[in-house]
Amino acid sequence: MKALAKLKAEPGIWQTEVDKPDVGPNDVLIKIKKTAICGTDVHIYKWDEWAQNTIPHGMVVGHEYVGIVESMGSEVRGFKVGDRVSGEGHITCGYCRNCRAGRVHLCRNTIGVGVNRPGSFAEYLVIPAFNAFKLPDNIPDNIAAIFDPFGNAVHTALSFDLVGEDVLITGAGPIGIMAAAVARHVGARHVVVTDVNPYRLDLALKMGASRAVDVSKQHLKDVMAELGMTEGFDVGLEMSGVPSAFSSMLDTMNHGGKIAMLGIPPSSMAIDWNKVIFKGLIIKGIYGREMFETWYKMASLIQSGLDLTPMITHEMPMERFAEGFDIMCSGQSGKVILNW
Ligand code: NAD
Ligand code: ZN
């Protein structure tokens, strides 16, 4: 079958032929319809230090997709051939303390689809049936194809009560923008998004941010004053991984504020701990999505009118993957979808 794989230890990704994956007794075989390019795929494409240390030679990449169940193992219950699915990309062990307690997103032995095992940039993908998510009919394919990063946004945004709160989102990447849309949809008051990329700040405004702040040109505190915010943000969602963005968040949080951190800093990051202590801040780390409460909420948010369509700025046949990666690397895009 056709696939996109990391065939060389250098920047790039290559189209190749690989064997159709074997289906174990607890697995489903998914015929991929659409995949989306994730920031993680861009790291693998660019072959940064993390990718060099993580990705085995020849790995089939990709983990954002929608497809159709084509066959399944003898032990699988709850799915049938023809079901339209997306899937949770974190494969968990099932035997650690958290897994056994049902806190599966906190598994300490998580394996990543398209990172540690073959991914979805392929005609077919095999995952445990446990990880497959059956899609309601009224979720369009393009939206289902970005459920994985949408899940990061939903998990982070719904970590704390947002109703009537002032929310700061640092980083208007695809995940930050979708988090802004969620915050608006569930009833936050001001949703302020920061970035240094005008294209993405513009998209954040289209998706429901009250204000989009280019921190290379404007002071966040001036914007807060314009909005009549005299105290500070109630909830912070860190979605850039940039240390200066996180420190501006610590500066502008109200006392008792709550921060959910999704962005991955490049290395260890120094902060002013006095801000955390004397403001009494609560900081929560976020990894992946809750299985499967986040998936349930994602479907419900779309069904209740949250429109992610403007997030999908580019769509093309998979053969044009090089162009798709170039667009993602340029920062002049929302999500880029490849049709298989
Ligand atoms: P992205 O790289 O597209 O977005 C990051 C954004 O931050 C970019 O738009 C960039 O211009 C912006 N930025 C740069 N400097 C800034 C500054 N000073 N202030 C504010 N913004 C600034 O990434 P994404 O795909 O949207 O993901 C967001 C973050 O979450 C990344 O760090 C990614 O690695 C991380 N991530 C974490 C998980 C997890 O499970 N914890 C999952 C997926 C992604
Ligand atoms: Zn586990």
Residue 190 falls in the annotated catalytic set: no
Whether pLDDT at 266 is above 90: no
Average confidence score pLDDT of the chain: 97
Which ligand 1 atom sits closest to the C-alpha of 216? 18
Is the preceding peptide bond at 292 cis, omega within 30 degrees of 0? yes
Mean pLDDT of 167-188: 98
Query: 3-class SS at 283?
Result: strand
Which residue type, as a one-letter code, is found at position 92? T
pLDDT tens-digit profile of 284-319? 999 999 999 999 999 999 999 999 999 999 999 999
Residue 322 has pLDDT above 90, yes or no: yes
Tell how far the Cα of 256 is from the centroid of ligand 1, in angstroms: 25
Decide if 294 is catalytic.
Answer: no
CA distance 166 to 257: 10
Domain spans of the chain, in order of start: 2-151+289-339, 160-285
The DSSP bridge pattern shows strands 335-339 and 27-36 to be antiparallel
pLDDT at residue 215, as a whole number: 98
Rounded to an integer, the average pLDDT of 94-98 is 97
Do 73 and 25 form a contact (C-beta atoms < 8 A)? yes
Which positions make up the binding site for Zn(2+)? 38, 63-64, 93, 96, 99, 107
Indicate if the pLDDT at residue 340 is higher than 90.
yes
What superfamily in CATH does domain 160-285 come from?
Answer: NAD(P)-binding Rossmann-like Domain (3.40.50.720)
What does the alpha-carbon distance between residue 338 and residue 317 come to, in Å, rounded to a whole number?
5
102 three-state secondary structure? coil
pLDDT beyond 90 at 64: yes
Instruction: Name the pTM for this structure.
Output: 0.97
AA identity, residue 93: C
**What residues are designated binding site for NAD(+)?**
175, 195, 200, 262-264, 286-287
Provide the pLDDT confidence category of residue 91 given band limits of 50, 70 and 90. very high
Residue type at 145? A
**Distances from the Cα of 199 to the Cαs of 146, 220, 316, in angstroms?**
20, 18, 20
Distance from C-alpha of 313 to C-alpha of 25, rounded to nearest angstrom: 39
* pLDDT at residue 171, rounded to an integer: 98
- Give the integer Cα–Cα distance in Å for 141 and 138: 9
Mean pLDDT of 152-170: 98
Tell me, what's the ipTM? 0.99
Instruction: Measure Cα distances from 142 to 3, 65, 124, 339 in Å.
Output: 20, 9, 18, 10
- Rounded to the nearest angstrom, the distance between the alpha carbon of 173 and the centre of ligand 1 is 5
Per-residue pLDDT tens for 141-158? 999 999 999 999 999 999
User: What is the rounded average pLDDT of the residues 7-26?
Assistant: 97
Mean pLDDT of 60-75: 98
Ligand 1: which atom is nearest the Cα of residue 288? 40
Atom of ligand 1 at shortest range from CA of 194 = 20
Catalytic option among 16, 35, 43, 219: 43
Which residues are near ligand 1 (CB < 6 Å)?
Answer: 39, 152, 170-176, 194-197, 200, 215, 239-242, 244-245, 262-264, 286-288
Q: Whole-angstrom Cα distance, residue 245 to residue 197?
A: 13
What mean pLDDT is predicted for residues 96-105? 97
Would you identify the CATH topology of the domain 2-151+289-339?
Quinone Oxidoreductase; Chain A, domain 1 (3.90.180)
CA atoms of 327 and 5, how far apart (whole Å): 19
pLDDT at 267: 86
Helix, strand, coil shares of the chain, percent, nearest 5, are: 35, 25, 40
Q: How far is the CA of 132 from the centre of ligand 2 (A)?
A: 17
Q: Quickly state the pLDDT bin for 339 (edges 50, 70, 90).
A: very high
d(CA 272, CA 86): 41
Q: Say yes or no to pLDDT of 119 above 90.
A: yes
